[in-house]
Chain A
Amino acid sequence: MPMVLLEADVKIPERKKHVYIKQPGEDTKQFLPASNITTIPGSLSERGCSYCGAKLVIGGVLKDTIQIIHGPVGCSYNTWHTKRYPSDTDNFQIKYAWSTDMKESNVVFGGEGRLKKSMLEAFAAFPDKKRMMVYTTCATALIGDDIKAIAKEVEDELGDVDIFCIECPGFAGVSQSRGHHVFNIDWVNRKVGTVEPEITSEYTINVIGDYNIQGDAYVLQRYMDEIGVQVIAHFTGNGTYDACRSMHRAKLSITNCARSAGYIANELQKQYGIPRMDVDTWGFDYVKESLRKVGAFFNIEDRVEALIERETTLYQPKLDGYKEKLAGKKVAIWTGGPRLWHWTKALEDDLGMKVVAMSSKFGHQEDFEKVISRGSVGTVYIDDGNELEFFEVIDMVKPDVIFTGPRVGELVKKVHVPYINGHAYHNGPYMGFEGAVNMARDLYNAINSKMFKLAKRDISKGV
């Protein structure tokens, strides 16, 4: 039973090439879901737009950068506060949202004047901020506003500011993945190499594809500080604009989210000879492996082992306590793409859980090669899943808990299946040793939540 046509998809049989159930002896040479292609009309996709991928996922994370969204106000609002990525600059990037608030008259007569006015106003309102990103959206891309020309005017006029323009409107690709791509490639080609960092250690790395969700980057930074490795740039969790301009000076790039940021890691390797090393910074056992690779690269294994020993002593008993309670529980992972392959073996090996279904919104076939190789036989693998498919798969595999985002989460709540926000977490961080315990705790709490059991009761019928 390779690719599967679910009952929900009878009217849209094209969906068959996106749904796979792994059988014994099969591998990705035989079956690989179609992915990163246009959503089929009639399928109620959960995807985001390409602009969202650039702004919400990558650029908007930077802690010192004004983010001007050149478009109607909704484009700004909807990519503002839906991710939980704090920073040590008093959460500047979460507190504020900026928009040119385009109206019909601006669309008719052009929005460049409005953009320039907004940019100058923003710099004036935040005089200590000298870095800005400007994003086109569907409306301003269609009318052809030249945001790079305006940015140049503002740079020339103010003299002490630097501006990065992201020309990736919502329609630029099939999902948010296109926004990741455009941001990565433009950044490395236009900004990397334009700032020289202060080097404080002979061991220098870039941490790529971590977005400081509920403090993930703080955990990784602490580990790197402890073993004496200088992080040149976090791309982009708790990161700064100028640090990301100086990524060319690292000796190694460790890459966690290869989907959203593998492009820049590849380009740093190609253009600057900085090797890309892919790591899993989620998962108790994976973290040990990832740290050991860094230790081996820099010949500092003793420091790494000391860190691992201390953290293991501290957190292994807690993890084991949750493992006893979670072993055998069934979990679905319905997130963006990479968390499928980062988490499936971690949940199975570290916690004894059974991953029964996985769905990716914007993953590419590369992600499915990874997840099908790591994932179990009998597990359902879906690309760009739609709502009716999710209902059907819930009936099919009966998960005890689901990792997903708020969109699908609201859906699964209606059928009283506990969900954990897989994109932004419930109570993270989830990375590192402590993160693995936090994740296990959230799983335990979700599965055993009395609220979900009470919600199933129909009080009108007294049951």
Chain B
Amino acid sequence: MEEKVDAVYGFVMERCLWQFFSRNWDREANIKNIMGNVAKLQSAQEADRATNQTNAYYADAKILTEQLSKKFPWFVSLSLEEISTIRDQVIDRLMDVAVVHSLNAERTEINY
């Protein structure tokens, strides 16, 4: 499982931009909502699309889910328990690098 978490985390870090938005609160919202939706979509659950904002999280997650499925053949056959574990651990690592222990001094400024 650790290798799979590494693979998903590594792909997100190389490919995505949303974990590095301007401020901590945006980064956290993106990380949790997009990775949460990736887990839902992988396990054929519906994502929240009620507002433009939640729809944007869905769109990012949908494309990422397709990319992960194409790049890692094992991704499509993960069980609900496995994808939940991957989701939680990838979220933890993204939060760690982009929010909790980021060296970026600007990310806590209150204004954009």
B22 CB contacts on chain A under 8 angstroms = 258, 262-263, 266, 366
Q: Interface residues of A: mostly helix, strand, loop or mixed?
A: helix
> Cβ of B21 and Cβ of A296 under 8 Å apart?
no
Task: Flag whether A200 is at the interface (Cβ < 8 A).
Answer: no
Shortest Cβ gap from A151 to chain B (Å): 25
> Cβ of B59 and Cβ of A251 under 8 Å apart?
no
Interface residues of A (CB under 8 A from B): 27-29, 31-32, 36, 185, 251-252, 258, 262-263, 266-267, 269-270, 273-278, 280, 289, 292-294, 296-297, 341, 345, 364-366, 369-370, 373-374
> Cβ of A369 and Cβ of B96 under 8 Å apart?
no
Task: Flag whether B77 is at the interface (Cβ < 8 A).
Answer: no
Task: Annotate B52-65 by CB proximity to A: 1 below 8 A, 0 otherwise.
Answer: 11011111101100
B75 CB contacts on chain A under 8 angstroms = none
> Cβ of B55 and Cβ of A297 under 8 Å apart?
yes
Query: Of B20, B55, B62, B112, which one neighbours A370 at CB under 8 angstroms?
Result: B20
Interface residues of B (CB under 8 A from A): 13-15, 17-18, 20-23, 26, 51-53, 55-60, 62-63, 66-67, 96-98, 101-107, 112
The 8 closest A-B pairs by CB, nearest first: A275-B56, A296-B59, A297-B59, A32-B103, A365-B104, A278-B17, A266-B112, A296-B62
> Cβ of A289 and Cβ of B103 under 8 Å apart?
no
Shortest Cβ gap from A101 to chain B (Å): 35
> Cβ of B20 and Cβ of A366 under 8 Å apart?
yes
Shortest Cβ gap from B17 to chain A (Å): 4
> Cβ of A292 and Cβ of B63 under 8 Å apart?
yes
- Measured CB to CB, the nearest residue on chain A to B54 is A275
> Cβ of A275 and Cβ of B55 under 8 Å apart?
yes
Known contacts: A273-B51, A297-B55. The answer to whether A373 contacts B13 by CB under 8 A is yes
Query: Of A28, A251, A274, A374, which one neighbours B102 at CB under 8 angstroms?
Result: A28
Interchain CA distance A364-B102 in the complex, whole Å: 13
B104 CB contacts on chain A under 8 angstroms = 28, 32, 364-366, 369
> Cβ of A374 and Cβ of B14 under 8 Å apart?
yes
Known contacts: A258-B17, A278-B18, A366-B107. The answer to whether A289 contacts B102 by CB under 8 A is no
Interchain CA distance A94-B67 in the complex, whole Å: 41
Shortest Cβ gap from A174 to chain B (Å): 13
> Cβ of B103 and Cβ of A365 under 8 Å apart?
yes
Shortest Cβ gap from B25 to chain A (Å): 10
Shortest Cβ gap from A145 to chain B (Å): 27
Interchain CA distance A435-B22 in the complex, whole Å: 28
B21 CB contacts on chain A under 8 angstroms = 262, 266, 276, 278
Interchain CA distance A341-B20 in the complex, whole Å: 12
Interchain CA distance A4-B106 in the complex, whole Å: 23
B26 CB contacts on chain A under 8 angstroms = 266, 276
Query: Of B17, B56, B101, B107, which one neighbours A297 at CB under 8 angstroms?
Result: B56
> Cβ of B67 and Cβ of A365 under 8 Å apart?
no
Of A278, A341, A365, A373, the most chain B CB neighbours within 10 A belong to A373
Some 13 contacts from A to B, beta carbons below 8 A apart, are A27-B97, A28-B104, A32-B104, A185-B112, A252-B56, A266-B23, A278-B21, A280-B17, A289-B15, A289-B63, A297-B59, A373-B13, A374-B15
Shortest Cβ gap from B3 to chain A (Å): 16
> Cβ of A29 and Cβ of B63 under 8 Å apart?
no
Shortest Cβ gap from A446 to chain B (Å): 27
Shortest Cβ gap from A305 to chain B (Å): 12
Interchain CA distance A292-B104 in the complex, whole Å: 30
Query: Of B58, B67, B98, B105, which one neighbours A289 at CB under 8 angstroms?
Result: B67
B59 CB contacts on chain A under 8 angstroms = 277, 293-294, 296-297
B112 CB contacts on chain A under 8 angstroms = 185, 262-263, 266-267, 270
Query: Of A29, A252, A280, A294, which one neighbours B101 at CB under 8 angstroms?
Result: A29
Shortest Cβ gap from A157 to chain B (Å): 35
Interchain CA distance A297-B47 in the complex, whole Å: 12
> Cβ of B18 and Cβ of A366 under 8 Å apart?
no
Interchain CA distance A298-B73 in the complex, whole Å: 28
